[in-house]
């Protein structure tokens, strides 16, 4: 069984990699298999999640556990999503969708104000203007100017003219340097993934390594 799994994995890898040449029947087969399998697994896990997290605690609680009546709310909201298939009751599906969007927004606000806004500001505020930063080996004033320039780049209420244009240009350069570094870093990580695949093909599959 393990050998069969290795063969399927190896052939699937080669079929997907064949896209590098061009779109072909092998890639198409692997693509459709991948999507089909993902759909099948998704249905299974979806069913399991509903049974484990909602149905059982609500209708078949384990011995000694209290029946969790409030779970009827997400269960009903979930069922309401299917009303989009009704011609006249289509609008009902907007209620659970609205709930989902509301939860998403609330989560975003919670995370953004603390981690993405205040912590970043505070970290920059604590830098003295003339001081070599140990981590980056650059003068902190360059770093501060870079942060302010990047903020100016994303200021949308005025046209970028005069001082705003200068600030935005600084911001743009700083971002491009940061993106370049991130690009190189991620390419290295992807190379290690490729090496892992090649090891799998040459080692586990062909036993050359």
Residues of this chain that interact with another protein (CB under 8 A) are: 16, 19, 22-23, 27-28, 30-31, 34-35, 37-39, 41-42, 81, 84, 93, 97, 100-101, 103-105, 107-109, 111-114, 117-118, 120-122, 124-130, 140, 144, 147-148, 151-152, 154-160, 175-176, 179-180, 182-183, 186, 190
In this structure, are residues 148 and 167 in contact, taking their beta carbons and an 8 Å threshold? yes
Q: Which is nearer to another protein, 3 or 157 (CB)?
A: 157
Nearest-angstrom CA–CA distance, 131 and 140: 6
Nearest-angstrom CA–CA distance, 151 and 171: 7
Nearest-angstrom CA–CA distance, 209 and 205: 10
Least CB distance to another protein at residue 208 (A): 27
> What is the DSSP secondary structure assignment for residue 82, as one 8-state letter?
G
Q: Which is nearer to another protein, 70 or 154 (CB)?
A: 154
In this structure, are residues 90 and 83 in contact, taking their beta carbons and an 8 Å threshold? yes
Q: Which is nearer to another protein, 27 or 205 (CB)?
A: 27
Least CB distance to another protein at residue 103 (A): 5
Q: Which is nearer to another protein, 39 or 202 (CB)?
A: 39
Nearest-angstrom CA–CA distance, 14 and 202: 12
């Amino acid at each position: 069984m393990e050998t069969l799994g290795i063969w399927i994995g190896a052939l699937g890898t080669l079929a997907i990699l064949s896209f590098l040449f061009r779109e072909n029947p092998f890639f198409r087969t692997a693509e459709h298999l991948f999507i089909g399998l993902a759909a099948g697994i998704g249905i299974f896990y979806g069913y399991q999640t509903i049974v484990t997290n909602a149905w059982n605690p609500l209708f078949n609680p384990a011995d000694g556990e209290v029946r969790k009546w409030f779970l009827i709310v997400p269960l009903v909201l979930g069922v309401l999503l299917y009303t989009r298939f009704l011609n006249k009751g289509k609008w009902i599906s907007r209620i659970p969708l609205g709930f989902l969007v509301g939860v998403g927004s609330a989560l975003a606000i919670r995370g953004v104000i603390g981690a993405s806004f205040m912590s970043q500001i505070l970290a920059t505020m604590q830098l003295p203007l003339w001081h070599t930063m140990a981590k980056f080996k650059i003068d902190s004033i360059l770093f501060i100017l870079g942060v302010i320039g990047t903020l100016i780049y994303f200021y949308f209420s005025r046209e970028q003219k005069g001082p705003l244009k200068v600030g935005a240009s600084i911001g743009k350069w700083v971002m491009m340097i940061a993106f370049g570094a991130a690009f190189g870093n991620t390419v290295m990580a992807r190379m290690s993934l490729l090496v892992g695949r090649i090891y799998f093909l040459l080692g586990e599959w062909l036993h050359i390594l």
